[in-house]
Amino acid sequence: MKLIKKRIYHFFLIICLILLTSCASQINGVLRQGGAANLHVEAALEPRITILIRSLQSMMGEAGSGLILDGPAISLSLAASDGVSSVSLENTGPQAIRGNIAVNNIEDFLSVSGKRFITYNERVSGSSSSGSIHIYLDKETAPELIAMLSSEAIEYLTALMAPAVLGEDISKDEYLMLVGSLYGRPIAGEISTSMIRAIIEFPGSITSIRGGTANRNQAVFTVPLLDLLVLETPISLEAGW
């Protein structure tokens, strides 16, 4: 079902980069001088989330077969987004995708009307450069950012009662209890243990980092999916080189 596919994918790709779902997700990226970036994305839905989506498909009169995450369809949608020069995503299974995304300028990535959730600064001297990147997401910016990608994402995450979309002030424990009461504890359990991991190489050796760890010019950011869905505190990731 195309609507379900788009809802799931678009939300989770964003919060992975920042750029994916109640799933095991990882992004490997290279940020170059000038702000261009190459990203390799791999994501797969967890088993119980897959079952939930199949159930939603059945409720909406779909057969429940075929792709849940549609790599080629997602590629077409992302290719039309600001800051993206090329996208090539393929399916490794009905609920799993992998592929590459080339970004012209990371600060423009998925921006609209001059509004950005990524701040990028750079100072170039000869063949070397120094700079910083800051990724910030809170309850005020998250719904607008999701809506930029797909209005259907709002509908799907509203069904999951995600505070990041609804703007409600509840704790992570309260949210898991709410999801568990509606969809069952196993679904809440998958959400509570899912992580999103981004490994990014920078143009120079990293001198400062917040929200991750650094080794020379490589930063590793690991963010619990629950933190992103609830946004009890803003997500703020930063690195300087």
Say if pTM beats, i.e. exceeds, 0.75.
Answer: yes
Query: Rounded CA gap, 36 and 108, in Å?
Result: 10
Q: What is the pLDDT along the chain (241 residues), one digit of tens a residue?
A: 344 334 333 333 333 333 334 455 788 999 998 899 999 988 877 777 777 766 766 665 655 446 777 788 778 877 877 788 999 999 998 878 899 999 998 888 766 666 678 899 998 777 777 999 999 888 877 776 666 544 445 555 666 778 877 778 899 999 999 989 988 898 888 888 888 889 999 999 999 999 999 999 999 999 888 998 899 999 999 999 9
Nearest Cα residue to 41 out of 85, 94, 105, 100? 100
Structure token digits, residue 96: 């799993």
The DSSP element (H or E) to which 222 belongs, if any, is strand 218-224
Neighbours of 75 (CB within 10 A): 19
Q: How far apart are CA 189 and CA 218, in angstroms?
A: 31
Is residue 152 helix, strand or coil? helix
Structure tokens given for 60 = 């909406």
Per this entry, what is the length of the chain?
241
Going by C-alpha positions, the residue among 200, 2, 10, 202 that lies closest to residue 87 is 10
Tell me the sheet residues that pair with 214.
219
Strand partners, 208: 240
Domain count, the chain: 1
Give, rounded to a whole angstrom, the gap between the first and last alpha carbons of the chain.
Answer: 43
- 8 Å CB contact between 202 and 241: yes
pLDDT value, residue 240:
97
Structure tokens at 195: 């992580």
What single-letter amino acid sits at 21?
T
Q: Contact at 8 Å (CB) between 85 and 102? A: yes
What domain range includes position 122? 2-240
Q: Which two tokens stand for residue 159?
A: 């069904």
